[in-house]
């Protein structure tokens, strides 16, 4: 953890954020470590939610709480194929993405997870893109998710 903490502080010094992949169910365990970061951090793969556990799963509720109370916390909407318990078209994972977007629409970004390493069901990236209107039906929110928020997080010039 000493080496990790040095990297976190170095990233903060140069204006970078930290991308964090957490094992399923571990958000509560790491929440206090994450909130102590001196820079923005992105929780990858929607906190590795498991759709089979439902929206009231304590780990998912901890993620929503962390996202709500720590303005340094961003979440990447990615990996619906991993979160899904039912498989294609992965609709059982949509409510999790929607809840995260509704919870902090200015601190979510989107990704494909291409090339999809270690997945049970290989998704078609077009199918992944087709899910966006299900969890972000509003075009203004879609623009935040796909353009405005990444622009701010990565420090790109506004389009």
Query: Rounded to whole angstroms, how far apart are CA atoms 26 and 18?
Result: 17
Query: Rounded to whole angstroms, how far apart are CA atoms 57 and 53?
Result: 6
Average pLDDT value over all residues in the chain: 95
For residue 140, count CB atoms less than 10 angstroms from its CB and return exposed for 0-12, middle for 13-18, buried for 19 or more: exposed
The whole-model pTM stands at 0.95
Report pLDDT digits (tens) over 111-122. Answer: 989 998 988 888
Task: Check 113, 130, 138, 148 and give the catalytic one.
Answer: 113
Q: Which domains does the chain carry? A: 2-154 (3.20.20.140)
pLDDT confidence of residue 55 = 98
For residue 34, what are the CA distances in angstroms to 19, 49, 73, 105? 11, 17, 8, 20
Report pLDDT digits (tens) over 68-113. Answer: 999 999 999 999 999 999 999 999 999 999 999 999 999 999 998 9
pLDDT confidence of residue 158 = 64
Cβ(38)–Cβ(74) below 8 Å = no
Residue 7 predicted with pLDDT over 70: yes
Catalytic status, residue 113: yes
């Amino acid at each position: 953890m000493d080496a990790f903490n040095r990297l976190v502080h170095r990233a903060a010094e140069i204006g970078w954020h930290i991308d964090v992949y957490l094992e399923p169910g571990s958000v509560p365990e790491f929440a206090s470590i994450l909130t102590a970061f001196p820079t923005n951090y992105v929780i990858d793969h929607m906190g590795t939610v498991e759709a089979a556990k439902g929206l009231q799963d304590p780990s998912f509720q901890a993620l929503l709480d962390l996202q709500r109370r720590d303005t340094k916390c961003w979440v990447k909407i990615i990996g619906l194929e991993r979160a899904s318990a039912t498989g294609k078209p992965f609709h059982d994972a949509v409510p999790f993405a929607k809840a995260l977007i509704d919870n902090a629409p200015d601190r979510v970004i989107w990704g494909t997870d291409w090339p999809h390493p270690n997945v049970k069901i290989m998704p078609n990236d077009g199918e992944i893109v087709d899910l966006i209107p299900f969890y972000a039906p509003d075009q203004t929110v879609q623009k935040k998710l796909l353009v405005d928020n990444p622009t701010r997080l990565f420090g790109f010039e506004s389009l």
